[in-house]
Structure 1
Amino acid sequence: VDLKYLFNETGSKLFYIETGSNLFYIESGLKLFYSESGSKLFYIETGSKLFYTESGLKLFYTETGLKLFYIETGSKLFYSESGSKLFYIETGSKLFYTESGLKLFYSETGSKLFYSESGLKLFYTETGSKL
Structure 2
Amino acid sequence: MERTRIAVLVGAAVAMTGSAGPGLTGQWGARGTNLSIGADGARLEQDCASGSFAPVKIDANGRFSTRGRYEAHKPGPQPADAPDGGAAAFEGKLDGDTLRLTIRPADGAPQQLTLLRGKRAKLIRCY
TM-score normalised over the length of structure 1: 0.30
Which has more radius of gyration? Answer: 1
Name the structure where strand makes up a greater proportion of residues: 1
Name the structure where helix makes up a greater proportion of residues: 2
Select the structure with the greater relative contact order (CA < 8 A; seq sep ≥ 6). Answer: 2
